[in-house]
Structure 1
Amino acid sequence: MAAAAHQADRPATGGQGCRAMTGGDRDGAPGDFRLTRRQLCALPGSAALLGLLGGCAFAARADAPPLPSDLFGGTTADPYLLALRAYIWGYPLVRAAQVRQNTTLPADPFRPRPPSAAGAAINRLGHAAELATPLMKQGVAPNNDTLYSLAWLDMREGPFVLEMPDFGDRYYTVQFGQADSSTEQALGQRTHGGQLPPVLIQGPDQQVALPAGMVGVRSRQRYMMIAERSLVRTPADLPAVHALQRAMRLRRWVDYAAGTDLPAPVSDQRPLLAPDTRCPAPLHFLEMLGNVLRDWRPDAGEARLISGLRPLGLAAGRGFRLEALSQAGRAAAARGLADAEAAVRAKTFTLGRNVNGWSVNYGGSVFGEDHLLRAAVAMDQIYVLPAEEALYPNARSDGGGQPLDGRNRYVLRFGAGDLPPVDAFWSITMYFARGLMVPNAAGIYSIGDRTGGLVRNADGGIDIMIQQEPPAAPRSVNWLPAPPEPFMVMMRLYRPRAPVRSGHWKPPAIQKIGGA
């Protein structure tokens, strides 16, 4: 979730004992992934970064190799090409499954969660009680604007009914995420005003007639994610949001229809990696993908693609068989997985159009047949909302193309009448380059339209000062604290108006105004 703090560890491809990499753990200039381990170690904060990486292969890779132009065309038995294909197509499936398992905790589903995390046992609704702060280490680019309510559903126990309270004029949205990391529906203030009708959620084979006055949602696979976001206007607003959370209800259809309020069963989940796996670490991704495919219901296009992966040992309904690969085939597949990971990671620097140094994915959660884009979004901003609900410009460089670094001072200047045109809210949040929030003595992690007392320029515009130390009063209110090292910022535009979605409105460039 681009706005959520519940992302799981990423599937890794290489490095003995490196089973998964933590989300948001990369540094470097936008559009340039040419970092060797020696260069990486020279970066400020690299010790913590390499600790996150745990010695994974990507940190030692020199660059991302070019992908074949017809990667998904035709048939092949080449394990290298098949591994490229499997990773780029399958990464979002594995990533989504990791998010599911890391938030539902199958081995200990009722373990208490941190107050800023919204995880819960599967088929149950969990709520975050606090906004994300730098103490939130579980994910990449958590937002500091909304409280989350989160549920993962095993549709074998469904259908389910979600009931929501009346939000009045408060912004809220309920995202229904598919198991491949795409999102086709987000319902809430934008679609139904303050009161969302009861939502009937059905699985692939469930055929309950939609009752009058309800809204229907369908999962294409066994698992579906529900992520609700409630706007918090000020810290004093938290109790009001907590009351709304307590009024939310998630029940099985049979209990809803019977008027009972029984908790849904906590169903078993298959581990992505068997505890006694014989699969070597560089091929762990294939085992994880294989376990996802054991529950997968491919559409026609996916069925052809998955069928073509049989020489790699992968099959829908059966999983991954290591013995299908010779020693040479295993080595070739490991190279393919590592190269595919590097290609996906390089793509995360250009998720969409480059606009004044900001990378903007105007397509939102619509990927079509662009498997590389879907994989990169899953790696960097999994479960983004549809573009009509939210857009997430992010910047790692200034207007001159130089990497953002807190040893410099910057200004983000909105001219009069050029503030983001949105129908809900906008914000800008500061992160370390690896995607974690930046601690600071002032406790300021984001700035936006709910920041009180922003000082305007003579022409009515607003300058946001991005630097380590607070600017002189009165512009100290306009301050977004930066760390003394490379950083990134993410702009969140909720319910963006047509000029934003069309690209007519553009985020202004971040301008360097002083050096170290």
Structure 2
Amino acid sequence: MRDIARPNNDTLYIGCMLDLRKDPVILEIPAFDSKYVSLMVTGYDHYVNVPMSVTKGDFRKPENVLFYTARTEDYDGKSVKGVDRVFEMTGDFVSAVFRIMPHANEKARFEKIIGQMQSVKAMTLSEIQGKPAKAINDVQFPDVGQTDLDVYGNNFLEVMQFVVNHTTFDPNDELDKAFLAALKPLGIEPGKTFDKNSAVPIDGKRFRSIAEKVRESEFARAMDPAVTAEHGQSMFKTKGQMSLDILLMQSVIGPIGLPATEALYPPVTTKDGQPMNAQNDYVIRMGKGEMPPAKAFWSLTLYDSANGFFIPNDRKKYSVGENAGMKGNADGGIEIYIAAERPKGVPVENWLPISRKDEKMDAILRIYWPDLEKMKSWTPPKAEKLTKK
């Protein structure tokens, strides 16, 4: 998995892109036999909405959920026969992502969940009403290059004009007002058509350089345990619930995480304060009373620091947890080893293999459906460097 940095190794995904310009889109969703399921939706404004989750008692019965925006043609938010919920989005183009704990170590349950996932459907309102789906091939997306930095260097104003034309802004929201006010001197306003011949000239090379520095600094903040401890529960929220400082950091890493009510992502640092390096082996110990306070489940995943990818190994073992496999101690605790070779007596489920080389590593805990009250007094474990014999 190299499309998203630091992907999880815990849940299966269903992802779909919804085009809401011409027609509302309805997701037909089954009941799920899983400890954890959530539906996350987000648009160009990078706010995160979770309209459905097991934490709210959802996914116990089949439901049809309709999505639309203020610009969706021929629809004004009214109830529709056969639709259980109606959800207004701020963006015409929506990323909808289901996360489903697959219970991979329970074969029959796993197969049942796979079948439930395969029954999820997306249909337009026209199709639900027995009419042909409306054509949506008239949109002209601007070129976005290979990375976000390409946009800053090549055609930032063109992309921003497209974004504001397909996003709903709240006239009473301070961040929305500030965003539009910053773009207005550059000739970017909702409803306008971009004309490169009359566009305000900007220094793309310098703009890209500044954007790259911001990306590096914000990404470093996102991986700083002190920042995570202070702001971890303030990220991945809806409009009106986030500061500009946190929204900037979230936009850099991507609106791909869940709010604290759904999941928390505390990093595991070392006892000696030095970055983990594959030249050494490590152990992470948690006693019975030190286990992550998860109402659903938890996991620990290992990545290379440079790219945020899983560390390749013959066993394809990238995480320790209920789905990837783990074996607790008799006293209810656990010891997780990060090592080039499995230490004698260590359960294979608790061993994360690495290659012996000069490579910095990150370990991230994921706590699904965290007990936020217990989280107030819980602290992540520390990785202890093992002495070479």
Smaller-chain TM-score range? 0.7 to 0.9
Q: Distance in 1 between matches of 2:387 and 2:197?
A: 56
Per-residue deviation, 1:222: 1.2
Alignment pair present for 1:374 and 2:239: no
Question: Could you say which residue in structure 2 is the equivalent of 1:480?
Answer: 352
Q: Is 2:30–2:63's contact at 8 Å kept on the other side of the alignment?
A: no
Instruction: Return closer, same or farther for 1:270/1:475 CA change in 2, 3 Å cut-off.
Output: same
Deviations 1:333-391 (A, max 9, x none): 64344224312321222238735997861123127453342232233253211211111
1:436 maps to 309
> Contact (CA 8 Å) 1:290, 1:318: kept in 2 or not?
yes
**Secondary structure at the counterpart of residue 270 of structure 2:** coil
CA distance in 2 between partners of 1:347 and 1:234 (Å):
35
Provide the TM-score with structure 1 as the length reference: 0.63
Measured in 2, the distance between the counterparts of 1:220 and 1:155 equals 10
2:34–2:101 contact (8 Å) kept in structure 1: no
CA distance in 1 between partners of 2:188 and 2:35 (Å): 47
CA contact (8 A) 2:15 2:97 kept: yes
Equivalent residue runs for 1:162-173 within 5 Å:
162-173=27-38
CA displacement, residues 448-492 of structure 1 (integer Å, 9 cap, x when unaligned) = 1345561416x4321111122212124443212234311112211
Q: Equivalents in 2 of 1:318, 1:410: separation in Å?
A: 56
Q: Tell me how far apart the structure 1 counterparts of residues 256 and 227 of structure 2 sit (CA, whole Å).
A: 25
Report if the CA contact (8 A) 1:289-1:319 is conserved. Answer: no
Partner of 1:309: 183
Q: CA 1:420/1:322 → structure 2, altered by over 3 Å: closer, same or farther?
A: farther
| 1:197 paired to 2:63 | yes
Name the CA shift for 1:504/1:346 in 2 (closer, same or farther; >3 Å): same
Q: Residue 186 of structure 1 contacts residue 386 of structure 1 at CA under 8 Å; is this kept in 2?
A: no
* Alignment-derived partner of residue 408 in structure 1: 280
SS at match of 1:362: helix
Q: Is the 8 A contact 2:236 2:255 kept in 1?
A: no
Paired residues in the alignment total: 369
**Where does 1:234-313 land on structure 2 (aligned, <5 Å)?**
234=104, 236=107, 238-256=110-128, 258=129, 260=130, 265-273=135-143, 282-300=153-171, 301=174, 302-313=176-187
Whole-angstrom CA distance in 2 between matches of 1:320 and 1:289: 12
Cα distance in structure 1, aligned partners of 2:231 and 2:370: 13
Distance 2:267 2:254 in 1: 10
Q: Which residue of 2 aligns with 1:456?
A: 329
After TM superposition, give the deviation of residue 405 of structure 1 in Å.
Answer: 0.9
In the other structure, the counterpart of 2:6 is 141
For 1:183 and 1:384, how far apart are their aligned partners in 2? Answer: 8
SS where residue 163 of structure 2 aligns?
helix
Structure 2 counterpart of 1:422, from 287, 290, 294? 294
State the secondary structure of the residue aligned to 2:63. Answer: coil
Match of 1:344 among 215, 218, 223: 215
Q: Is the 8 A contact 2:69 2:92 kept in 1?
A: yes
Residues 292 and 454 (structure 1 numbering): CA distance in 2 closer, same or farther, change over 3 Å?
same
In 2, Cα distance between the equivalents of 1:239 and 1:455?
Answer: 26
Q: Distance in 2 between matches of 1:298 and 1:357?
A: 29
Query: How many Å separate the matches in 1 of 2:340 and 2:254?
Result: 26
Q: Secondary structure at the match of 2:158?
A: helix
CA distance in 1, matches of 2:310, 2:96: 24
Question: Partners in 2 of 1:161 and 1:304 — Cα distance?
Answer: 33
The equivalent residue for 1:499 is: 373
2:91 corresponds to: 221
Match of 1:513 among 363, 386, 389: 386
Measured against aligned partners, the alpha-carbon deviations of 1:241-282 in whole angstroms (never above 9, x if no partner) come to: 3311222122222333x3x4966755444333289xxx9983
Deviation digits for residues 77-123 of structure 1 (CA, Å, limit 9, x no counterpart): xxxxxxxxxxxxxxxxxxxxxxxxxxxxxxxxxxxxxxxxxxxxxxx
Q: Is the 8 A contact 2:233 2:259 kept in 1?
A: no
Please list every run of 5 or more consecutive structure 1 residues that lacks an aligned counterpart in the other structure. 1-135
TM-fit CA distance, 1:394? 2.9
Structure-2 residue corresponding to 1:231: 101
Determine the structure 2 residue equivalent to 1:207. Answer: 76
8 Å CA contact 1:432, 1:486 repeated in 2: yes
Q: Percent identity?
A: 24
The one-letter amino acid of 1:393's match is P
Distance 1:261 1:349, change over 3 A: farther
**Alpha-carbon contact 2:77-2:86 (below 8 Å) kept:** no
- Shift, 1:409, TM fit: 1.4
Task: Decide which of 343, 364, 367 is 1:490's aligned counterpart.
Answer: 364
Answer yes or no: is the 8 Å Cα contact 1:421–1:499 preserved in 2: no
- The one-letter amino acid paired with 1:150 is G
**Separation of aligned partners in 2, 1:261 and 1:324:** 42
For 1:223 and 1:510, how far apart are their aligned partners in 2? 42
Q: What's the C-alpha RMSD, in Å, of the aligned pairs?
A: 3.2
Tell me the secondary structure at the aligned position of residue 228 of structure 1: strand
3-state secondary structure, aligned to 2:98: strand
**Superposed CA offset, 1:212-260 (max 9, x none):** 872231111212221111212226455323311222122222333x3x4
Shift of the 274–421 alpha-carbon distance from structure 1 to 2, 3 Å rule, reads closer
Q: What residue identity is the alignment partner of 1:444?
A: K
Contact 1:162–1:198 (Cα < 8 Å) also in 2: yes
Which residue of 393, 397, 408 maps to 2:266?
393
Aligned partner letter, 1:385: L
Q: Which runs of 5+ in 2 are unaligned?
A: none
User: In 2, are the aligned partners of 1:354 and 1:360 still within 8 Å (CA)?
Assistant: no
Residue type of the alignment partner of 1:377: Q
Q: Distance in 2 between matches of 1:168 and 1:144?
A: 19
